[in-house]
Amino acid sequence: MNTARGTELVKGFIGALNKQAGAGVTRASISQNVFEYTGQGNMLLYVKGRAEEPLRWGVTANVIQRLQSQAKPWFVILLFESHDHGYLLSEADVEYCIGGVWALGKDGDYKPSSGSYLSRKQPFYSIQGFLNAIGTRTV
């Protein structure tokens, strides 16, 4: 599996968020894939990228557990194809999915994939679409 392209999607996404007026994104100590977004909102973003088919991400169970213990709101972002294409999952969405929709692999990762695993969510196709979805507007 080529993870380099997925990593590039994450870097592009974080870079695009950092370019937004009044916003900042820094890596959080929870995991290398968790970032703190500040600006018009203050939240944690667990960002995973997948650039090739099949669209299947690894969402680590112990990272989710750490996020659940945080006072800040948090989201899981599953990027695909481009740094500004992805699925946005709220805390409630993730709770629902780990309650029986996503399989937990032997490696400790939940295995969401496109299709029925994400059928409740519509993807975003721009950074502005992402910001709109989390309730933040660019200035």
**Which pLDDT belongs to residue 118?**
81
**How many helices (H) and strands (E) are present in the chain, helices listed first?**
4, 7
Tokens of 108: 């400790």
d(CA 66, CA 57): 18
Q: Which domain holds residue 18?
A: 4-134
In a domain, 43, yes or no: yes
In a domain, 86, yes or no: yes
d(CA 90, CA 102): 15
Among the listed residues 103, 108, 56, the one whose alpha carbon sits nearest the alpha carbon of residue 79: 56
In a domain, 37, yes or no: yes
In the chain, the number of structural domains is 1
The pLDDT tens digits for 2-26 are: 568 999 999 999 999 999 988 999 9
In a domain, 139, yes or no: no
In a domain, 74, yes or no: yes
The pLDDT tens digits for 101-119 are: 888 999 999 989 887 678 7
**Which pLDDT belongs to residue 2?**
52
In a domain, 88, yes or no: yes
The pLDDT tens digits for 117-136 are: 787 788 999 999 999 998 85
CATH of the domain at 8: 3.40.1350.10
Residue 27 vs residues 43, 51, 86, 121, 132: alpha-carbon distances, Å? 12, 21, 19, 26, 22
In a domain, 12, yes or no: yes
Q: At which residue do the structure tokens 């937004």 appear?
A: 20
Q: What percent of the chain has pLDDT over 70?
A: 94
* Mean pLDDT over each residue of the chain, to the nearest integer: 90
